[in-house]
Structure 1
Amino acid sequence: MAAPIDIQLILCDAAVSDPSGKVHMLGAGWSVTGAPIAPHAVVVLMGIPRDRANQKIPLRLQLCDENGQPVQVTKPDGERTPIVHSGDLEIGQPPELAAETLIDAAFSVSIPPLQLGPGRYQWRVQVGEQVVSKSFTAQQGRDQYTSE
């Protein structure tokens, strides 16, 4: 059995990944926002064990409701579609790292405004067989950028 991957999800107002693998975040660490939901970013930070290096690992980031069901939005053509980003993750193994050292991997996904009502939602990331989620609450009349 492969060693588990250390996974963290962070919600922020904006984020960008740079070529060195770092993620730069603004307004990081919130869990309450307004409804409809303003543009934001989801940051995924991972520590990959060396025994998982040089392997393709499936990755899926999806917005779900409080019951874990996929949230769907209406596209301009009227089609309903889930909010999901997916792909494969593959990290090379630097030879100079000690065996117990985790290999850093990070990325951010920018999310456009979402016309969703008040409620409890969760961003859920699945990396291989592991699932980690970060919940947040959307409140009607709340300004995302104030604490009032």
Structure 2
Amino acid sequence: MSLNKPYLDVPGTTIFDAEMSRLGYHLNQFCMSLMKAPNRERFKADERAYLDEWPMTEQQKQAVLARDLNRCIELGGNIYFLAKIGATDGKSFQYMAATMTGMSQEEYAAMMLAGGRPAAGNRFIGEQVASKNTKEGS
């Protein structure tokens, strides 16, 4: 039975729903393990060996090793769990969010202090298509 998911029409956004929770269960459990100092030490000593202790997919492991948080989210990671990786690396949440947007930490902070990204054109994919068609018709 397929559920109606109108939120799939939000551009650039992965909603952490029940399906994503199941997909990322082991990835998120790995992240939570980093709350304990001995686990952080083991992870930092040999990241691949520590990841191999978890029944994650190879894609999830590669995303963690690359610190590709956007890919981790696509693979079921929840940003609040993924933040444990950044903390283990000594990085702030602001730094992590900036890397996910392709901005420097300073650019990201300035954007957020100025009110964040504009909502126009970012609420529904259909808005982007309509905007593109309007511009092409001009």
**What is the TM-score normalised by the length of structure 1?**
0.20
Which of 1 and 2 has higher RCO (CA within 8 Å, sep 6+)? 1
**What is the TM-score normalised by the length of structure 2?**
0.21
* Structure holding more strand per residue: 1
Please tell me whether Structure 1 or Structure 2 has the larger radius of gyration of its CA atoms. Answer: 2
* Structure holding more helix per residue: 2
